[in-house]
Amino acid sequence: MSEPKIEGIELKPGFKGMAEDTGSDQTMFKGVHWGKAMMWIFLLSDTFIFSCFLIAYMKGRGSTPVEWPNPSEVFALDAFGVPVPLLLIAIMTFVLITSSGTMALAVKYGYEKNRKMCGWLVLATAIGGLTFVGMQAFEWSKLIHEGVRPWENPFGAAQFGSFFFMITGFHGTHVSIGVIFLFIYAYKVFAGHYDQQKRGWFTSMKGDYVEIEILGLYWHFVDLVWVFIFAFFYLW
Amino acid sequence: MSNTDKKEQTSTHKIGIYLWIWGLLFVLSFFSYMVDWYQFQGMLRWSLILFFMFLKAGLIMAFFMHLFWERYALVNVLLWPMTAIACFIFLMVAEFKYTLFTRLFYFFVGG
């Protein structure tokens, strides 16, 4: 991960190292597993998709002459009879950050070949993600009951609904896919597939704890996107 | 065997750094929630939201996603394309201002 050693090649640090890695007439990402590089490239393309959604939202919100619904009122939740602004969203944010932290620790224990700790932490991450999706389903059904539709809503500008369902829906899809994979990988860790180098079902490569890091990259990215959605959609 | 053990040692980091970042993310999320709780408005609200957002995103990418420890060849391939997004935002800001202007002009002034 940090300081790869490759026989016969002296790896230089910094920008000089970058120039030499890039121009070395062989693999460019020294010491990076191909699966990890591919996951990063995928995440880069996913970044562009989410950016397009958020930029479209900015353009839609900025160009409407009708008042935009106030998110801290729309997403308020009654707690003991008092409306608390963004209560559910705040809880969702904390749940997602918690699951991101457990994932980071799972990656660490995976590299230390601590099978049990890694497995439990991946499982905890999956449960955190499931909680998040559950709360999002609750949020969606609450708003749908209140009459929010992709084409109209009782609070203000009609575009609000389409952006809300599109952006949070696409993010929720990512979380759901992540949860499915987290459960599968929790099973694979507990079953010892990475200790025995058992070949995977997705590729025929030998099982290795680097797969947990690759899964972790995806999961942290989901958390990363939520940071931006939270800032731009819910707080702005 | 001792050789591979050594190699694995370099590829993990102390648990403390993860717990620190984790704690910081909680604190920063709490602060960004407080921006809404106290109903800050205008430039103060927007700059605080952006400040906490970029700080959180940076911490997640640098430490949870290990970019801080990666070689520059990977880091630069990932970060430079973000300038294209910045350009796109810049273009669309100009665009939404123009759209709003034409809408106000034709809806309310009548052309």
Using an 8 Å CB-CB cutoff, list chain B residues near A159.
none
Which is more confidently placed, A133 or A198?
A133
Kindly state whether residues B65 and B85 are assigned to the same domain: no
Q: Residue A96 has what pLDDT?
A: 94
Would you call A111 and B96 a contact, using CB atoms and an 8 Å cutoff? no
On the CB side of B6, CA atoms within 13 Å amount to 5
Q: Residue B20 has what pLDDT?
A: 92
Q: Residue A17 has what pLDDT?
A: 87
Would you call B71 and A4 a contact, using CB atoms and an 8 Å cutoff? yes
Q: Give the percent of chain A with pLDDT over 90.
A: 62
Kindly state whether residues B60 and B92 are assigned to the same domain: no
CB A231, CB B50: distance < 8 Å? yes
**B52 is in which domain, residue-wise?**
2-70
**What value does the mean pLDDT take over residues B79-85?**
93
From-to residues of CATH 1.20.120.80 in chain A: 33-235
The 10s digit of each residue's pLDDT in A167-206 is 999 999 999 999 999 999 999 999 988 888 888 777 778 8
For residue B111, give how far its alpha carbon lies from the nearest alpha carbon of chain A (Å).
Answer: 16
How big is the CA angle at A178 (ends A173 and A182), to the nearest 5 degrees?
A: 155
Using an 8 Å CB-CB cutoff, list chain B residues near A234.
36
Kindly state whether residues B65 and B12 are assigned to the same domain: yes
**pLDDT-derived band at A99, boundaries 50, 70, 90:** very high
Q: Is B34 on the interface with A (CB under 8 A)?
A: no
Structural domains counted in chain B:
2
Torsion of CA B27, B29, B34, B37, to 10 degrees: -140
- Computed over every residue of chain A, the mean pLDDT equals 90
Kindly state whether residues B15 and B61 are assigned to the same domain: yes
Would B51 be classed as within a structural domain? yes
Distance CA A12, CA A19 (A): 9
Would B75 be classed as within a structural domain? no
Kindly state whether residues B87 and B65 are assigned to the same domain: no
Interface size A-B, in CB pairs within 8 Å, comes to 164
DSSP annotation string for B60-94: IIIIIS-GGGS-HHHHHHHHTTHHHHHHHHHHHHH
Distance CA B10, CA A32 (A): 14
Closest to B33 (Cα-Cα) out of B52, B14, B16: B52
Q: Which residue of B has its CA nearest to A228?
A: B53
Would you call B18 and A108 a contact, using CB atoms and an 8 Å cutoff? yes
- pLDDT at position B86 over 90: yes
Is the complex ipTM more than 0.85? Answer: yes
Distance CA A40, CA A45 (A): 9
Kindly state whether residues B99 and B63 are assigned to the same domain: no
* From the candidate CATH numbers 3.30.420.40, 3.40.50.300, 3.90.226.10, 1.20.120.80, the one assigned to the domain spanning A33-235: 1.20.120.80
Distance CA A178, CA A126 (A): 8
Closest to B66 (Cα-Cα) out of B20, B16, B27, B12: B12
Q: Is A87 on the interface with B (CB under 8 A)?
A: no
Would B11 be classed as within a structural domain? yes
Distance CA B12, CA A114 (A): 12
**pLDDT-derived band at A224, boundaries 50, 70, 90:** very high
Which residues 52-81 of chain B have a CB within 8 Å of chain A?
52-53, 56-57, 60-61, 63-66, 69-74, 76-78, 81
